Amino acid sequence: MSDFKLLSRRKFLTKAGSALIATSIASLATTAKTSSQESQQLGVKEWCMVIDLRRCIGCQACFAACKSENGVPLGIEYTWVETHEKGKYPNIKLLFLPRLCNHCDKPPCVQVCPVKATWKREDGVVMQDINKCIGCRYCMAACPYGVRSFTWEEPSGAWFEPWMEKATAKHGFVVKCHGCYHRVEKGLKPACVEACVGGARIFGDFKDPNSEVRKLIDSLSTTRLKAYLGTEPMVFYIGLDEKVAELGRKAPGAIIVHEEEEEEEE
Amino acid sequence: MFFSQCFIIPDLGRPDRILNLILSPNPSSMFIADFIVLTSYFIFTIIFGWLTMKEKVGMRGTLALSAIGLPLAISIHSVTAWIFGLIKARPMWHTALLAPIFLSSAIVSAIGLLIFTTILTTKFTNIKIPSNVVSDLGRILSITIPIDIFLLFCEILTTSYAAEPRHIEPLSWILLGPYAPAFWTEVTLGIIAFLLMVNPRVRSSTIALTISSIFVMVGIWLKRFLILIPGLSLSPIGEIGVYVPTWIEWSIIVGLYAFGALLYTLSTQLLPLKVEEKNI
């Protein structure tokens, strides 16, 4: 029994250490990349994200950073981390799954929107025009990832700061992750990427063969959520568990126990 | 027609922006296709009603117009089914059978409504409609109800035989889970309505017709409920939602039905409907 504990603690320490080193390297690499990107601003990029689940500790920092960066109203999340419990003691593991808009290459939401309020930018970001949206919520039904939300009530605080100046209404439309395009356009990383303590979220240009994301995608085995639907999601996961990929729960912090798995092991 | 389109507007988050449907339509959206077919059908019914009531066209003209109206009627129900059936994110809806199911259900419930309103109209107004018309409608029910149940059976058999987890989960809710009472009520009502309509002698009685028409209307309403609510309450990421309408939503629903009933009542009084008898 104690062997298991020791092993897991040692594993944890090794992981934490490597994560720390990886983060610093990643941040260094990204700073270097940003300066090189400025010189080649003309070429159209295709933004994508790699989420290295081996580095994710489920701290919800990305969720909090996103909420404060974009002033996301109460009850709505653009990104969140699911906690899954798998197995039975002593063979047990907590698995984390950060979710966000997958900025699909073939987005079903864009296909179904009746008024062209949602569209795909050239750089790959799936955008939402809150001034055009009629609030029919068809895109929410069509999204296989459940990342679109409807604003029911008028928000009380300052929110949507990049949008609000031009907004003609404050509720009654659909909102979603816009890939922090207001930051990316200034050469910054999205808020969730910036806040990730383990460096699990890596953001970059899919078209650039030398970008960190492409190096990871090309050299490691990656999984995309519900790739069988042909939506071509642009968020790549490293070390994704099959069970976790299909089922989750939106409430941040809630632990999802996979009971069937427990029964099998008994 | 007008009444049914009124239902869509309170469902929008921003009804004030509804003109965006015309200003910036997205042709790949089924909502736009639905908007086009519903509007054309609406215009068609006005023209059709005006021509037949004013006796501008004879029997042959009416038949010729029906040749335009029938494909239009099929298209509105098919496009409405495709709004759901083309959504791959919702496994429960994503079936090619949805359009035929919508069509057969629409015929069943429309005939039910027609029987019910015809009986009420003959009872409470001086518009007289021959009773054999009503029992003929009942005969159509005895054919269309089995077709509707057969299509439903095909869908359930295909899903349960393949037993793909993401398909079987919403289905098991309907057959055995929290939605089972609604489902089995729907099937029972359909079978009783069919048994009442299949015998020509029973079919001619007004009581049997009334019971059967109410049963199919309730049954098809439940069927629609079972397509919409379980399809939406299991989110694509495994989240389970529970939907209970608020008092505002209930009052909107009641208000809309009352408005529809008012429209029908006014039309029986104001439109020259008695002319139809001569045509028949």
- A152 and A36 part of one domain: no
Q: Are A209 and A37 within 8 A, CB to CB?
A: no
The CA distance from B250 to B85, in Å, is: 27
Positions of chain B with pLDDT lower than 50, given as ranges:
275-280
The CA distance from A208 to A214, in Å, is: 7
Element (H, E) at A52: strand A47-52
pLDDT tops 50 at residue A5 = no
A21 — pLDDT class (breaks 50, 70, 90) = low
Of A134, A138, A151, the CB nearest to B18: A134
A16 — pLDDT class (breaks 50, 70, 90) = low
- A9 and A64 part of one domain: no
Q: What strand order describes the sheet that includes A201-205?
A: A201-205, A47-52, A235-238, A222-223
Average pLDDT over residues A216-241: 92
Cβ pair A114:B26 closer than 8 A? yes
Of A114, A145, A226, the CB nearest to B29: A114
Return the number of CB contacts < 8 Å for A and B: 102
Cβ pair A116:B87 closer than 8 A? no
pLDDT tops 90 at residue A195 = yes
Q: What local confidence, expressed as pLDDT, does residue A233 receive?
A: 94
Average pLDDT over residues A142-159: 76
- A29 and A52 part of one domain: no
Of A99, A134, A247, the CB nearest to B14: A134
Q: Is A172 on the interface with B (CB under 8 A)?
A: yes
A126 — pLDDT class (breaks 50, 70, 90) = very high
Q: Is A163 on the interface with B (CB under 8 A)?
A: no
pLDDT tops 50 at residue A31 = no
Q: Is A138 on the interface with B (CB under 8 A)?
A: yes
* Contacts A229 to B, Cβ<8 Å: 88-89
pLDDT tops 50 at residue A177 = yes
Domains in chain A, number: 2
Of all residues in chain A, the percent with pLDDT exceeding 90 is: 34
Mutate to test the interface with B, among A80, A101, A115 (most CBs of B within 10 A): A115
pLDDT tens digits for B124-173?
877 777 778 888 888 899 999 999 999 999 999 999 998 887 788 888 88
- A167 and A107 part of one domain: yes
CA–CA distance from B154 to each of B79, B97, B147, B158, B166 (Å)? Answer: 21, 9, 11, 6, 18
Of all residues in chain A, the percent with pLDDT exceeding 70 is: 71
Distance from CA of B143 to the nearest CA of A (A): 34
Mutate to test the interface with A, among B7, B11, B14 (most CBs of A within 10 A): B14
- A190 and A139 part of one domain: yes
Cβ pair B13:A137 closer than 8 A? yes
Cβ pair A115:B26 closer than 8 A? yes
Cβ pair B87:A143 closer than 8 A? no
Average pLDDT over residues A122-141: 90
CA–CA distance from A45 to each of A29, A121, A122, A124 (Å)? Answer: 18, 10, 8, 8
- A79 and A96 part of one domain: yes
Strands A118-120 and A222-223: unpaired
Of B23, B24, B87, the CB nearest to A142: B87
Residue A192, domain extent: 47-265
Q: What local confidence, expressed as pLDDT, does residue A83 receive?
A: 85
* Contacts A261 to B, Cβ<8 Å: none
* Contacts B90 to A, Cβ<8 Å: 141
pLDDT tops 80 at residue A95 = yes
SS (H, E, C) chain B: CHHHHHCCHHHCCCHHHCCHHHHCCCCCCHHHHHHHHHHHHHHHHHHHHHHHHCCCCCHHHHHHHHHHHHHHHHHHHHHHHHHHHCCCCCCCCCCCCHHHHHHHHHHHHHHHHHHHHHHHHHHHCCCCCCHHHHHHHHHHHHHHHHHHHHHHHHHHHHHHHHCCHHHHHHHHHHHCCCCHHHHHHHHHHHHHHHHHHHCHHHHCCHHHHHHHHHHHHHHHHHHHHHHHHHHHHECCCCCECCCCCCHHHHHHHHHHHHHHHHHHHHHHHHCCCCHHHHHC
What is the Cα gyration radius of chain A?
Answer: 19
pLDDT tops 60 at residue A159 = no
- A214 and A127 part of one domain: yes
Cβ pair B88:A143 closer than 8 A? no
Bigger pLDDT: B220 vs A34: B220
Cβ pair B14:A133 closer than 8 A? yes
A156 — pLDDT class (breaks 50, 70, 90) = low
Distance from CA of A187 to the nearest CA of B (A): 32
- A261 and A137 part of one domain: yes
Q: Is A228 on the interface with B (CB under 8 A)?
A: no
SS3 A125: coil
Task: State phi, psi for B23 to the nearest 5 degrees.
Answer: -70, -40
Cβ pair A115:B88 closer than 8 A? no
Q: In whole numbers, what is the pLDDT of chain A averaged over residues?
A: 78
Q: What local confidence, expressed as pLDDT, does residue B223 receive?
A: 92
* Range with lowest mean pLDDT among A184-193, A213-222, A244-253, B198-207: A244-253
* Contacts A133 to B, Cβ<8 Å: 13-14, 17
The CA distance from B250 to B258, in Å, is: 12
In DSSP terms, A150 is beta-bridged to: A174
Distance from CA of B166 to the nearest CA of A (A): 9
Q: What is the CATH number of the domain that holds A107?
A: 3.30.70.20
- A33 and A51 part of one domain: no
pLDDT tens digits for A207-227?
988 999 999 999 999 999 988
The CA distance from A233 to A105, in Å, is: 6
- Please state the pTM of the whole predicted model: 0.78
- A31 and A66 part of one domain: no
- A79 and A124 part of one domain: yes
pLDDT tops 60 at residue A35 = no
- A185 and A127 part of one domain: yes
